[in-house]
Structure 1
């Protein structure tokens, strides 16, 4: 566990305190303690069944710990309400290809909180959606059904949805599953750019050990059960040079290509 001395003055974004999770009498996560600091990039590696996706779902409030506490931006999970500060890209294989939503509808859904699902979007919010579509260079796909897209295109859509509110914490669960190798490389270039140049903290699950270690280092900062936490810090203010995320992403995507 990262002790208080190692945390220094950096703000804690996620605090995991003695967390357990059990499912059908089987313990998946046991006594996990971990702190994620502002602008960390945390790579989460573990075998199938180790609890990677379970942990992410607890952090975004989709599951509750059996025991222990998770705090987001210093607030206990039960009191946290600022969900627009968190972007979440779930596993692509969770998508039903027959889901009858367009690309624009999926991206727009990132603007809705748990209590305002059916309200009308304002003009300013619609502009944010247009900016997100443009930043990911998928504006030409806006009226296509999400299930009709390639894997690389779908990941652009989900990333646009996650980025629409300019989140401070971005959580990615196996974001490159089902995408060809060239598109995976481009995707990793893009998120490295985001980490290095924007005020965003990352948590990412990936089976690509080579990619994770090339950016985050050879040795995990911590192991707990079957989970290994690899961490890269980017705390220097000069590394956070960009303020306009969508403009910066448009520039970045001019030099890399996610689509096959």
Structure 2
């Protein structure tokens, strides 16, 4: 699904990541931890092709990220921001907007796309609130709506950046159940960035820490190779 081959990245002369090599396979749940400013977001931006590596190569499904075009196969949910109270858009419309890149102007969604919308609303537990404005939802429901939006294109790889920030315990439980379904039933690979270990405990097959320009396995997790840390 995703491969980093001896990847380095610098902002000007300031190195952020150095010699990172790792792979993520279908159906894997990978948690990424690390202090603020360590390079977690940079790692995701590299994976999404938003920035180019200074050294090495990033590949999505075997294709260099600079040439990759099948972005419907990749879902991304950034850190949650509170929706504007002036935003007159329903949950249904938020989820449907995830299909914008696949629809021609003024085109209607197909029957297959409608079925997918229904499916992701059900998986994320949002069917009962689909007609409500996004601003009327709790923080946890808003977050699940954004995840549903990312899922509507049927991605095979999903990035979640701090998905439990600002949500209550009940919302975390609902989110966890949804993620279990995505990984165990649908086989989606998940990269889960978080400061909250309880959010991914028991779900993550590997926990990786971004620290001092390296991506290192947390104790008990599978190894990650790094050019400057042999055998790490």
Asked if these proteins are the same fold (TM beyond 0.5), I'd say yes
Deviates more, 1:204-213 or 1:139-148: 139-148
**3-state SS of paired residue (2:145):** helix
- Alpha-carbon distance in 2 for matches of 1:14, 1:228: 17
Match of 2:189 in 1: 201
Does the 8 Å CA contact 2:29/2:203 hold for their aligned counterparts?
no
The alpha carbon displacement at 1:63 in A equals 2.7
Deviates more, 1:125-134 or 1:79-88: 125-134
Q: 1:137 to 1:41 in 2, by over 3 A?
A: closer
Taking the TM superposition and a 5 Å limit, the aligned residue runs for 1:1-260 are 13-23=1-11, 25-93=13-81, 98-113=86-101, 118-124=105-111, 125-216=113-204, 220=207, 225=213, 227-229=215-217
**3-state SS of paired residue (1:192):** helix
Does the 8 Å CA contact 2:20/2:215 hold for their aligned counterparts?
no
TM-score normalised by L of structure 2: 0.79
The two structures, once aligned, show a CA RMSD in angstroms of 2.8
- Alpha-carbon distance in 2 for matches of 1:207, 1:117: 39
Does the 8 Å CA contact 1:72/1:80 hold for their aligned counterparts?
yes
- Alpha-carbon distance in 2 for matches of 1:75, 1:177: 33
TM-score normalised by L of structure 1: 0.71
Q: Which runs of 5+ in 1 are unaligned?
A: 1-12, 233-260
Does the 8 Å CA contact 1:85/1:167 hold for their aligned counterparts?
yes
Summarize deviations over 1:203-222 as a string: whole Å, max 9, x none. 111111244344437x8567
Q: 1:120 to 1:36 in 2, by over 3 A?
A: same
**3-state SS of paired residue (1:78):** coil
Q: Which runs of 5+ in 2 are unaligned?
A: 223-232
Match of 1:247 in 2: none
**3-state SS of paired residue (2:172):** helix
Match of 2:227 in 1: none
How many residues were matched structurally?
218
**3-state SS of paired residue (1:203):** strand
Deviates more, 1:145-154 or 1:19-28: 19-28
